[in-house]
Amino acid sequence: MSVATSDLSDRTRTAENMLRIRVGILLLGLLVLPFVAPGYWIFFAGLLGINIIATQGLNIMMGYTGLLSLVHAAFVGVGAYTVAVMQARFDAPFWVTIPSAGILAAVIGLGFGLPSLRIRGLYLVIATLAAQFILHFVFVHWESVTKGDLGMTVAPASVFGFLLNTEVRVYYLILFFVIISTIFARNVINSRVGRAFIAIRERDLTAQVLGVEIVRYKFIAFALGSMYAGVAGGLLAYFNRYVNPEQFSLFLSVFFLAAVIVGGMGSILGAILGAAFMTILPEVLRGVALMIGGGFGFDLGTILTPLRETVFGILMVAFLVLEPRGLAELWNRFARRWAGKAKPSSH
Amino acid sequence: MSPFQLFIEYSVLGIAAGGVYALIALGIIVIFKASHMFNFAMGEMMMLSAYFFYAASVTFAFGPAIGLAIALAGSVAVALLIERVAIRPMLGRPFIAVVMVTFGVGSILRGVVGMIWGPNEMQIPAILARTPVFLGDIFVPGRTARAFAIATTIVVALIVYLRYSRAGVALRAAAADTVTAYSMGIDVRKVVAFSWVIAAITGCISGILMANVNTLTPHLGLVALNVLSVVILGGLASIGGVLVAGFIIGWLEAITVLFLPTEYREITPYILVLLVLLFRPNGLFGKPVVERI
């Protein structure tokens, strides 16, 4: 996964080139997608893009640095509300609101992380769980700013005078951010900072002995992950054009958690695969429930949410127990077999 | 009523609620002691037990006594299943990974209960008398008072049991040093399974008590999140501290209502847990055993 950047052997260089070609084809496909695919797909692609950004963020914290966060949904919410409020109050353009969304989420994230990031594991989990509930409470009850349960509508973003008022146009904005955030995540992970993250995850005491300033890098990882959530939330506000507290419940935090686990912790590809899997899964479940439920006369409205919770839970447990490296590992294994020769993997 | 009387009355109510908190917290701590893993599915185990009780005593009309026995048996069976299928394979894996597994388990239990029993409130048969108890002038609702009495009795009994029984000694040995415990002939896997049985029992009883004081919904399990502050304040390492911590947290939660608007009640547990993490991260009686970096 982490290819050394300095002295590439021939084989890794060809692998790198292959990757470039594949990514190029993928990008081309994504660019022309709106011209060939039905509108329903574009809607999904947009949602998927937002989920990918948020999952990348959680993956930086959890997958690479080992900091489990249950407040991710609320940080997405912070981003979404930042956009909604800044636009409603100051009529701020998107190139102001989206970065503000990221920065505010990072700052609030550090505020909650500060007391517990110095201590290990469990306390951070509990602190983030508390933060999730407290922030959700703020969304609901700080009515003078968030309009409470009523929610806020968001006017379409305007990019250099070009109004993003259709799903296709927002799709391109989201695609742009997905590309930027994926490249950024990849570069961070392949840098000194990323190696520090991984060292902390593997054994923090050893990392410290080797001269990694653990607390500082934990702060960086936490702020970075929260920033990704904030940006994803900002995009979500422009995408849905509506923000309300219900969207950012603990359930969504568990959704991102499951996405990281299913995709494969500590893998950029994994975050993308996991987000894709978890975005499509509810639709598949809805389809299955419709098919089966029609026969038995179930009330779909009441059964769908618990069914989703059950399946999310089963996936989390199954992947953690059976394949902790997630879909990314399954993908790599498949790709290797497909490549034919049983040459050793390059990572 | 004078403000002082009001304060006393709320305090009593809060401490009474704290008894049940201590019972739930005990289930979390026993598992933590035995295997150094934190069970975030405790609330869902509790809720499931209450639904077992409902099914046995109302749906199948066995009555409360047999209903309780069936609920206990069902809870223990589920706990052992969880331990065997989801927890034991995670032995030796990072702490965070095991925590995530318990989140997954919680999600499964919540979903299954939601699918079987639906999201509506249910009324379980009243096993606690409603006649209020008077402490001098102070009025305590009957069910709260009795729930407190039952929970506290069980907590004390379990603390004594874990202190003096062979099983309790084995548990503490396993907690102190797994490898040495193994070499002294203690089957640590059995100790872990035993801790899950204890958790199932405390969860089952606290679930039924909670469902009696409030009503039975799939959200019943959220109470266990309130208990996180009890667990931290009591100190993860000490079983005895849990009772005092339960009273303190229950009391604080109740009296905040006097100072803050009522809607803040839903987040007082979380503010409390953050405050506890800030000021007493090792608990009231805990030694600073948390690995700092």
- For residue B192, is it within any domain? yes
A:136-165 residues touching chain B, CB 8 A cutoff: 137, 141
CA A192 from chain center: how many Å?
22
Token digits for A72?
């991710």
- What is the reported pTM? 0.86
Residues of chain A contacting B228 with CB distance shorter than 8 Å:
126, 129-130
Nearest CA in chain A to B41: A313
- Whether residue B83 is contained in a domain is answered as yes
pLDDT in tens, B175-189: 888 888 888 888 888
Per-residue pLDDT tens digits for A248-287 = 988 899 899 999 999 998 899 999 999 999 999 988 888 8
Residues of chain B found within 8 Å of residue A62, distances taken between Cβ atoms: 96
In chain A, the residue whose alpha carbon lies closest to the alpha carbon of B118 is A302
> What integer pLDDT is reported at residue B145 of this predicted model?
84
Give the structural domain span for B91.
12-222
- Mean pLDDT for A311-324 is 92
Tell me which residue in A66, A127, A254 faces B103 most closely, judged by beta carbons: A254
| A320 contacts in chain B (CB < 8 Å) | 90, 97, 100-101, 104
Is there a domain that residue B58 lies in?
yes
pLDDT given for residue B292 in this prediction = 46
Cα separation of the two ends of chain B: 52
Mean pLDDT check: name the lowest of A151-155, A341-345, B2-6: A341-345
Structural domain contains residue B269: no
DSSP helix/strand/coil, B2:
coil
User: Residue A162 — pLDDT band, cuts 50, 70, 90?
Assistant: confident
Let me know if residue B160 belongs to a domain: yes
Count CB-CB contacts under 10 A for residue A161.
5
Angle in degrees, CA B96, A250, A43, rounded to 5: 110
d(CA A307, CA B123): 24
CB contact A210 to B (< 8 Å): no
The mean pLDDT of A158-178, rounded to a whole number, is 81
A98 pLDDT tier (thresholds 50, 70, 90): very high
Give the pLDDT confidence score for residue A119 in this predicted structure.
65
Nearest CA in chain B to A137: B267
Domain contains B236: no
pLDDT at A289: 77
Least trusted range by pLDDT, from A20-34, A58-72, A98-112: A20-34
Q: Check if the beta carbon of residue B17 is closer than 8 Å to that of residue B253.
A: yes
Does residue A142 have a pLDDT over 70?
yes
For residue A127, the tally of other CB atoms under 10 A from its CB is 26
ipTM: 0.87
Residue A101 · residue A82 · CB < 8 Å: yes
Average pLDDT, chain A: 85
Average pLDDT over residues A222-229: 94
Q: Is residue B92 in some structural domain? A: yes
Cβ separation A254–B107 shorter than 8 A: yes
Distance CA A59, CA A261 (A): 9
Radius of gyration of the CA atoms of chain A, in A = 20
Residue A14 pLDDT grade (very low, low, confident, very high; cuts 50, 70, 90) = confident
Write the DSSP assignment of B53-111 as a string of letters: HHIIIIIS--HHHHHHHHHHHHHHHHHHHHIIIIIGGGTTS-HHHHHHHHHHHHHHHHH
Nearest by CB to B111, which of A125, A137, A313?
A313
Q: Which residues pair with A163 in a beta bridge?
A: A158
Does the beta carbon of A300 lie under 8 angstroms from any beta carbon of chain B? no
Between A96 and B283, the more confident residue is A96
Q: Is the pLDDT of residue A1 over 50?
A: no
Structural domain includes residue B231: no
Instruction: Please indicate whether, in this complex, the C-beta atoms of B96 and A121 are within 8 angstroms of each other.
Output: yes
Domain definitions of chain A by residue range: 25-247
Does the CB of A257 have a partner CB in chain B at under 8 Å?
Answer: yes
- Residue B107 in contact with residue A316, Cβ under 8 Å? yes
Q: How far apart (Å, rounded) are the C-alpha atoms in residues A330 and B188? A: 34
Question: Would you state the pLDDT for residue B42?
Answer: 93
Work out how many domains chain B is built from and give that number. Answer: 1
**Per the CB < 8 Å rule, is A306 touching B112?**
yes
When pLDDT is averaged across residues A153-160 and rounded to a whole number, the result is: 78
Which residue positions in chain B have pLDDT lower than 70?
1, 285-293
Nearest CB among A120, A308, A312 relative to B293 is that of A120
Residue B140 sits at φ, ψ, to 5 deg, of: -120, 125
- Best A61, A310, A315, A322 member to test B by mutation, with max B CBs in 10 Å, is A310
In the predicted structure, residue A346 carries a pLDDT above the cut 80: no
